[in-house]
Structure 1
Amino acid sequence: MNSKSWRYTAEDLPQLSPFGSVLADRIAISRFEDGGWKSGGLIPMNDFRLHPGAHCLHYGSSCFEGLKAYRWDDDSIALFRPDRHIQRMQQSAAVLRLPIPDRDELMEMLVATVMDAMADIPPAPGTLYLRPILLGTDTNIGAAARPSESAVLYVMASPVGDYFAAGDRALRLLIQESARTTSQFGKVKTGANYASALGITLDARDKWGTDQILFCPDSDVQETGASNFVLIDDKTIITKPLCDSFLHGVTRDSVLQIGRDLGYEIQEKDFCVDDLLKWTQHGEAALSGTAAVLAGVGTMIHNEKEYTLSGGETGPNTQRLRKALVSVQRGTEANGHGWIKKLT
């Protein structure tokens, strides 16, 4: 593609804020009916019909994913770890007892969406964010104890810049010793989990000027409302081991693998708030996620006391790991883990 065909330049990235507010012109869509998936191809980004009695509107039978397509320096296009995101969406669908998306069909939908919106992909540090969404569509408002046997699956695309309004500024977190969501749904990427964290996050922002809440039920350090949480120092990366209570982040997995490649000791273990507060005296902390990438934490607040990490800035190890991850995503660093799907 000729560079003149691109819609956005680096100077246009402020126009793409807030994150996800600008959408591509079309979506890929498929419907599950009579026991099978039927592709609807690409349709205009517009309202589509959803019955007022649809299962998803009444009983929360919906899940989604988030992944990114990148425009590399040579103007080629690449997806980062789409297979793992498809696998996680299948896991979410299974927990919610929704029709499970077919792997190959969802991959085709992702590729078709990216190729259709290729001109919308901004240059670095921007990306094209992809949002596959699965909705249960049975029209029975008495079906609270029954799964939806029909569904619609579609993929949206959004050219984006930074996820956090803070940009490169280190984040402020409030430590909250309560759960983000119900334990059995913690690993499911469903809207209800985000809704349960929204109000308390907004209250903390108003009172403390925080960016996120770090949820620590019974002092067990888990994750924030939007990202996984990791501790980092010169030798070690520490994070909670995978369980049903929090999201199994693809970026989290990528950071841990890159950390191993760089020689860090990886410790997946439980740790408590007291351990975390002691860590602030010497170590770094960061949030990992598709949207957040790896965002440094500069301040944590607990019991109305502020704890500063890395002088209130993003720490050098966090910067090193983020740079290594972004280099793989953008093709400036070779990667032997098979994470890249080249489209052009």
Structure 2
Amino acid sequence: MWGLIAAGVVVLGTIVALIVMLTGGGDAQADDQGGETEAASDSGEADGSEGSGSVDTDAETPYSAVESYFTALAEGDAEAASSLVYDAGDTTLLTDEVLATSLELAAITDLEVTEEETTEELSFSHEVQVSYTLGDAGVTKRIYTYQNTDTDSWEVDGAAEIMQPDFGDLETTVNGEPVSGSEATVFLGLMYELAIDDENFTIDGDGLLEVTETYASAGTLDVGLTEEATETWRELILSDVEECVASTELEAGCGLDMPEDVSGATVVEGSISRSLPAETDQALQRLTPQPNYSTPTLVGAEYFTGRVDVEYEAEEDGVTSLYELYFGEPGTLGTPMVDMTADELEVIWE
């Protein structure tokens, strides 16, 4: 009897195991397979994402080299663009950061490379026509390509030189990166922003330079003061003038120093009265800064002359009389100049 019971238990256990395998076990297996499928799908998506936007840098023709170069620029891939440049030289500014800034200034769109039919075998160099839109402006140019004798692949004459403006001791930046020397090597075909690395100075206008030729000159750009620096500069001059005009002494400063003798009469020290006529006061309020041409850090005033009314007492032959100055340097403000890079700003009067 006990044998029959044991046999029944074994049979029952076997039935339960079969039920578990047919229900829960099957679901687990399905889940595992689903997980594997999902993982495979994710892997496929990752592989596809990695391959998207890639640029073929092994150009077999001049035309594919030009197309790949400008495509790399448009996609912000500085490494790919650099690999397609023939004899890049200094690569300091051939970076993703500089390229990204250029694309923010003016993106490259509507790229079209013109392939020309030729019956002759291409020589070491070949000129290719390319058209594209840079920001809102259309660009059409011919660009040289050269065949690399080591790899037989074609490369683009894509390194351009920006001739830096002569701003004296003021250092310039290209797309926010400092530049040393008179030239800066950049990618050909983009827009760049030049600026001055000094808190008091800026480049007049927007400082933008389109570089679509091998050599681009920034010599037409002019330096100026920032709005805040302009206010500081003007306030320094106005403060100096106020102090000079208030002086009753011979040596007043600001170009208003009186000589000891005027027309044979000896000027009485402490008797001088100076005042600004309305036109001079208005001219001072409208002072416009003008950096010196040869030394831009020295900032003077543009088209400024300032007449000052002067009265004084002078003694001649024992008689002291009141005089009025009608002409001469003591009745005209000098030329103000401020070195806006000095540690302590002060006005120099010339």
> TM-score normalised to the size of structure 1?
0.21
Q: Which has the higher contact order (CA 8 A, sep 6+)?
A: 1
**Bigger-Rg structure (1/2):** 2
> TM-score normalised to the size of structure 2?
0.20
